[in-house]
Structures are given as C-alpha cells and as structure tokens.
C-alpha cells in the first residue's frame, strides 16, 4: 500500500483518444492516483514505460493491429513483477483468462462503472488480481484442467491469441491475403492457423470454421 501522500502513477495505453481522455479524467479525479503518461501504440508505451517507470499500466486489449497482451508480456520482460491491468470493450468471459495467462494482474471492461474501474486499479496496485467474481471458478477450473480432453462443443478458450485474432478476422469477412498483411505473416501461416483451429475446435473443415467464425461478434459466440 502506498503512503497516503504518494499518488499511484498510471500509464494509460489506448489507441482511442476519446476513451483515453475519459479514463484519464476518471483516474485524475482520485486523490490517491494520477496519470503519468498516455500512449496509443505498443512502441510508444514501451518507451514511456522505460522512461517514466509507472506504478501500473492500464492497457487496451487491442492497439490497432497490435495486441495489448503482447505489450504486457514485453513489459514483464523488463520487470517481471510489474502490475498491468487489461482494459477493453471485449467481453471478459472470453479474454480475462487470456489476460491472466499473459501475466496481467486483471481484466476490466470499459463498459463498467467508473467506480468499478477504480476498484480494479486499486486491487492491482495493492497486489491483488482483479476479474469479475463470476469468472473466478471458470479461470481456476481451466487452470487445473489445461491438459484435459476438450469438450465436444467448440471451445475457443483452447485457441492461441493469434488463432483467435484470425478467427475474428474470418468472422468479419477478411480474406487470407489481407489477414496475412495485417499481422505480418505469410498466407501459408494463416492457412496453418486455420487448420489448427479446425482440429482444436473439433470441426470437419475450414468451411465449417468459416461458418463458426461468422456466428461470432465482438463479444464472443452468439
């Protein structure tokens, strides 16, 4: 716990200017915390991280074509105990577990009330882990049964972060070449991701995978 007269310094990383201004206003209105810097890209965030030495980073899950999960991993390479909190519009039932696996101390949705976001920041600051209480049993169960046989129904929690990114791009109608260019890999690599997803999800073909992807929206399966 920080002394009462010392403010928690928070680095905010988000590529949406309006969202950045909003969360900065919420943080700066608290007597025990302040925004020490903002960044819109992973590269800028790492430069500020190394220069400003913040106490906490609040990181958007998606930074353009970059992943906030990868940014958190990079921060942990520099400081393996650094507390980062993932902050996103995407449904936590799909991403909270991934955030914890990446080394983040928690996951909070942007739709939450300002008071809940502040509670999440304070929880992480004080050494805790923040996710919605309803998700804790699921996260613990998946952690205990990581090697268990997959369920018969498609379970996207078995996918890697990159595979999930490709699946969501498929659902949005993005073609293979465009996907490859967006994430800087070859079309052959994209095809490999798709074959892997067919196997992991227990589907019969890439066509079935595309149909499954089409049923996804930004909050996960519908």
pLDDT digit string, tens, across residues 108-153: 988 899 999 999 999 999 998 888 876 665 555 554 444 444 444 5
Model pTM score: 0.65
In degrees, rounded to 5, the angle at the alpha carbon of residue 38 between the alpha carbons of residues 100 and 40 is 75
Domain boundary among 140, 168, 187: 140
Domain check: are 89 and 188 in the same one?
A: no
Domain check: are 164 and 115 in the same one?
A: no
Q: At what angle do helices 17-28 and 114-125 cross, to 10 degrees?
A: 70
Domain check: are 41 and 133 in the same one?
A: yes
The answer to whether residue 2 is domain-embedded is no
Domain check: are 79 and 133 in the same one?
A: yes
The answer to whether residue 93 is domain-embedded is yes
The answer to whether residue 32 is domain-embedded is yes
pLDDT single digits (tens) 28-67: 999 999 999 999 999 999 999 999 999 999 999 888 778 8
CA distances from 172 to 165, 168, 218 (A): 11, 6, 10
For residue 175, give its domain range: 156-216
Domain boundary among 140, 170, 198: 140
Domain check: are 38 and 92 in the same one?
A: yes
Max CA pair span of the chain: 60
Classify the phi-psi angles of 103: left when phi > 0, otherwise alpha if psi is within -120 to 50, otherwise beta.
left
Task: Count how many domains the chain has.
Answer: 2
> Of 38, 93, 40, 92, which Cα lies nearest the Cα of 68?
40
> Given pLDDT bands bounded at 50, 70 and 90, which one contains residue 169?
confident
Average pLDDT (186-197) is: 91
In degrees, rounded to 5, the angle at the alpha carbon of residue 166 between the alpha carbons of residues 87 and 153 is 90
């Amino acid at each position: 716990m920080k002394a009462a007269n010392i403010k928690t310094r928070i680095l905010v990383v988000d590529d949406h200017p309006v969202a950045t201004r909003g969360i900065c206003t919420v943080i700066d209105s608290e007597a025990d915390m302040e925004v020490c810097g903002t960044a819109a890209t992973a590269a800028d965030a790492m430069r500020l991280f190394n220069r400003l030495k913040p106490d906490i980073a609040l990181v958007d899950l998606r930074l353009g074509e970059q992943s906030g999960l990868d940014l958190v991993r990079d921060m942990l390479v520099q400081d393996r105990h650094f507390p980062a909190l993932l902050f996103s519009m995407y449904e936590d039932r799909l991403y909270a577990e991934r955030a914890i696996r990446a080394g983040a101390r928690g996951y909070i949705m942007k739709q939450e009330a300002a008071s809940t976001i502040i509670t999440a920041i304070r929880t992480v600051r004080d050494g805790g882990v923040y996710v919605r209480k309803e998700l804790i049993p699921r996260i613990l169960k998946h952690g205990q049964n990581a090697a268990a046989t997959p369920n018969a129904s498609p379970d996207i929690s078995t996918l890697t972060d990159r595979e999930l990114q490709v699946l969501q791009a498929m659902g949005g109608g993005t073609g293979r070449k465009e996907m490859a260019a967006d994430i800087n890999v070859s079309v052959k690599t994209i095809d490999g991701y798709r074959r892997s997803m067919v196997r992991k999800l227990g589907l019969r073909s890439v066509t079935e995978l595309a149909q499954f992807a089409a049923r996804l929206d930004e909050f996960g399966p519908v």
